[in-house]
Amino acid sequence: MSYLAAFVSVFYTIEVILIVMGMTAVVTTIIALVATFSKFDLTMRPGLLMVIGLVSIVAIFTVLIILLFTHVMVLRLVIAIIGTLLLCMYLYFDVQTIMGGRRIELGPDEVVFAATQIYVDIVLLYQYLLINKMENERLSGKDTREDNVEGNVEAKPKKVLGLTTKVALDTLHRDVGRVLQEYEEDHRRNK
């Protein structure tokens, strides 16, 4: 997930990345504090969370199908907002299960599972906030892509493999190759 977030981030300016990182940190902190000290127990209603999640997924797919036939930019913002709200609910639920004292709680031996839950929630929240910020600025006439830093919003061909993208792809290729090589060596040693 980190590679995916890094790969998506190289297409934006550093200002946008820093703003979105700050937004993610603030939202995560607020949700963690509210989930810890709130009397509302979302773990007592996992069915509600599942229904809201399914309705959100159906809404996102419906909007995506509409986007295939129309090019209404506001619908992209709708997808980002729905995804952000859904991930905030999941983060709230996961923090409550980790903190304990609720109907559903994780035991002390489930530390890796808890860390993975929070990590996935935060990375996905970062990505949806990045989409949200991008669509807000695109609707207001600004372009936040790295290849358009000067503010020139005229239609011009995108750099498919800009320098930062090429560096990210080379790093990804090198790291994946190294991991596969280590796996093959471990597999040979275990035989």
**Domains of the chain: which residue ranges?**
1-147, 158-190
Q: Regarding predicted confidence, which is higher, 96 or 107?
A: 96
- Identify the three-state secondary structure at position 12: strand
Q: Regarding predicted confidence, which is higher, 141 or 58?
A: 58
For residue 143, what pLDDT is reported? 58
For residue 26, what pLDDT is reported? 93
Say if residue 154's pLDDT is above 50: no
Distance CA 86, CA 52 (A): 8
Lowest pLDDT segment from 89-98, 112-121, 129-138, 159-168: 159-168
- Identify the three-state secondary structure at position 67: helix
Residue located via tokens 């980002």: 80
Phi and psi angles of residue 146, each rounded to the nearest 5 degrees, phi first = -65, -30
Amino acid type, 35: A
Say if residue 63's pLDDT is above 50: yes
Give the mean model confidence (pLDDT) for residues 74-90: 86
* Separation of CA 191 from chain center: 39
For residue 155, what pLDDT is reported? 43
Assess contact for 144 and 134: CB atoms under 8 A.
yes
Give the mean model confidence (pLDDT) for residues 139-166: 52
Distance CA 37, CA 98 (A): 13
Contacts by residues 61-68 (CB-CB < 8 Å, ≥ 24 positions apart)? none
Q: Regarding predicted confidence, which is higher, 142 or 153?
A: 142
Give the mean model confidence (pLDDT) for residues 45-56: 87
Give the mean model confidence (pLDDT) for residues 8-37: 88
For residue 159, what pLDDT is reported? 47
Give whole-number Cα distances, 21 to 47, 124, 133, in Å: 31, 12, 11
Lowest pLDDT segment from 44-48, 75-79, 161-165: 161-165
Contacts of 70 (CB under 8 A, 6+ apart): none
Q: Regarding predicted confidence, which is higher, 180 or 95?
A: 95
CA angle 134, 152, 138 (to 5 degrees): 20
Amino acid type, 177: G
At 54, is the pLDDT very low, low, confident or very high (cuts 50, 70, 90)? very high
Distance CA 158, CA 51 (A): 40
Assess contact for 9 and 130: CB atoms under 8 A.
yes
Say if residue 25's pLDDT is above 90: yes
For residue 158, what pLDDT is reported? 44
CA angle 81, 52, 115 (to 5 degrees): 80
First and final CA of the chain: distance in angstroms?
Answer: 31
pTM: 0.66
